[in-house]
Each structure stands twice: as structure tokens, then as C-alpha cells.
Amino acid sequence: MEPSDELYAEKVGEELKSRMEWFKEALKDDVKREELHESIQGSEILIRLEIFLPSDNPENFVDGLYLYIDNSGKIVDADYYFRDTCDGAITRLGEDDLQIIKDLFQDSFSLEIE
């Protein structure tokens, strides 16, 4: 990990810890809970759909896609992942690859929210 990656991970960890303390306080105090709820600036529905890609040896290697679909049913982002017996990784798809995924899968799934 490069120094900037370590600093970023440390910053994320600090922010998460701070938020979790805030959430715990809100669980214990109805006034703080109400303040939290009122301070939330917005929300969005985002569905993650996992696609398992074919593998000749699924016990030792699997890979797939996470498709992120908004509340209108459009694919808005995607990650590629793999796992083998020792390791795994996830990577966000770039714009060109994302467009290929959208072209290939957009009409394959439908989403209805009531």
C-alpha cells in the first residue's frame, strides 16, 4: 500500500468511527435520533445485482459482476470481482467497459418498485 493509500484508509477509518459513535448515540436518545433523521440530506435507492460468470472450476475460482441499478432500472455502475482459493479482488469498471456492460445487460433485467 502506498503512503497516500494508507492515509486515505486511516481517514476513512476515522470518519467511520465518528459516524458509528453518532449512530450509537442516536440509538440511545430519541432527540438525537430525530436530529439525525432530520439532518439527512437525501437518499437514493440503489440495487446491487450479482452476476455469477461461468467457471470451469468453481471450487477454486469464481468471478462475476456487481451491477448497480438505480430506482428507474438503469445500470449506473458496475464492478468486476474474482475469488480464488487464496485471494480475491474487486475493481470498478471504467466508462468504456461500463458501456459494454450496459449494452449487454440493460434489457436483461427489469425493476419494479411500488
Task: Report the pLDDT value the prediction gives residue 113, as an integer from 0 to 100.
Answer: 67
Q: Which residues are 77's β-sheet partners? A: 68
The burial class, CB within 10 Å (0-12 / 13-18 / 19+), for 72 is exposed
HSE (CB half, 13 Å, CA atoms) of 102?
15
Q: Whole-model pTM?
A: 0.65
Q: Is pLDDT of 9 > 70?
A: yes
Task: Report the pLDDT value the prediction gives residue 71, as an integer from 0 to 100.
Answer: 83
Give the residue with greater pLDDT, 25 vs 59. Answer: 25
Sign of CA dihedral 71, 72, 73, 79: negative
HSE (CB half, 13 Å, CA atoms) of 18?
6
Mean confidence (pLDDT) of the chain: 90
Quick check: 98 and 77 in contact, CB under 8 A? Answer: yes
Domain coordinates in residue numbering, the chain: 3-39, 46-108
